Structure 1
Amino acid sequence: MAHPLSHWEDGVAALPRETIVDVLEGRLREDILDGRHPAGSYLPPERTLADGYGVTRTTLKHAFGRLTQAGLLETRHGVGTRVRDYLRLGGADLLPMLVRHSPDWIGEVFEVRRGVGALISERAALRATDRQRDELRARLAAVRGAPDADAVQLADIEVHRALARATGNRVYVLLTNTLFNAYLPVRAALRAPFTEPQAAHERLEPVVDAVTAGDAAAARRAAEHYLTVTERIMLEGLA
């Protein structure tokens, strides 16, 4: 007979179970980010490390593989496994992991969000095509029509993705994606500005209005105001 948690029950999906590799990966990641294994240092020999964590060397190798892919470790055959200096060598793709590790990172993400978001709105006002302006209006309308806070938040995100596309610069699109990906570990705690669809729409509307009017200066000011206000509301929600 199948385990009852392997099926939908009362409309709720079963949560995936953590494997020993998942647990070891998490422990090693936390030990690296907490500085127990400093950047640039070599980890102890595999047998020693496996014994210390109470796992097999095969399990350890699987965890190493994941952390190498994540950018935290690098293995040199015949030399050993070293902790990468992720602050010097890492990329923005590490942000979701770092935010999950320490909420302190979210303040730095927000600082970049303000600067990049204001610049994107300014550039979008200068470069948006008629089709992109129509898309922005439609995306904004979807914010007001969203049925709940989660849907409002997602609709709001799509407005910002549309703004980035309207710049005509794909790097802005990727930066926008990166910043939103960084929110993922704490997204549920950042819903406060999106609990009322009409209010969320009214906060974002001046940005879209200025961009679609082609007023770059007004778009930048509106974006700076919007980003500052929503940041304050989200941080209050986190507190």
Structure 2
Amino acid sequence: RLVSHHGLDPGRVHVAAPGADIAPLAPGTDGVSRLVCVAAVTPRKGQHRLVEALAAVSDLPWSCVCVGGLGHDPEYVEQLRALVARHGLEDRLVLAGPRAGAELDATYATADLMVLTSYAETYGMAVTEALARGIPVLATDVGGLPEAVGRAPDGGVPGILVPPEDPAALAAELRGWFGEADVRRRLKSAARGRRAALNGWASTAQSLAGVLHRLPGEPGGKA
């Protein structure tokens, strides 16, 4: 896509995919009801679409924590809080702010399903971070998210992709997640298979080093 979009010479374009170091398998909660969204709270990440979808399935026993910075677009954050209140979801959907390190690990450990409603993503590292813990993904079909979701070695897909402008489609897939045990088993199995096949950051660094090593030297012997 980069080659065609920018008119680049394919022979001079190299890819070092972001890594995802395998983490302990997430035990989750009850295997179905804990949803986690990891993304800065901005219009581009589309959390308002997530709220709309969750409001449409408020009869289901979900809880959701949204992890991500709240300072990028304070006006959007306030609009989002108002939307959550309008639908009466304050006790079920939490804007937790940024988390890192052990605190973020603990959040992922409680997750049964990762949800991401972005309008654009260059790759989607939060997706691979979830898959590195064996957590299935429900995300929008944009940018690099299909690549990040990927496939398990046996061909299984560890996630579900929906259009970014369709909260109804997201809600329908959430109903399927809650209502169809076979769907959950299939997604969880594929997520664990994808986890085992992920390349870590050491592989990314090795790929990048290989590209740099092949660069032609400048006059005087300097690379």
Q: Same fold (TM over 0.5)?
A: no
Over alpha carbons, which structure has the higher Rg?
1
State the TM-score, normalized to the length of structure 2. 0.23
State the TM-score, normalized to the length of structure 1. 0.22
Which structure features the higher share of helix residues? 1
Larger RCO (CA within 8 A; separation ≥ 6): 2
Which structure features the higher share of strand residues? 2
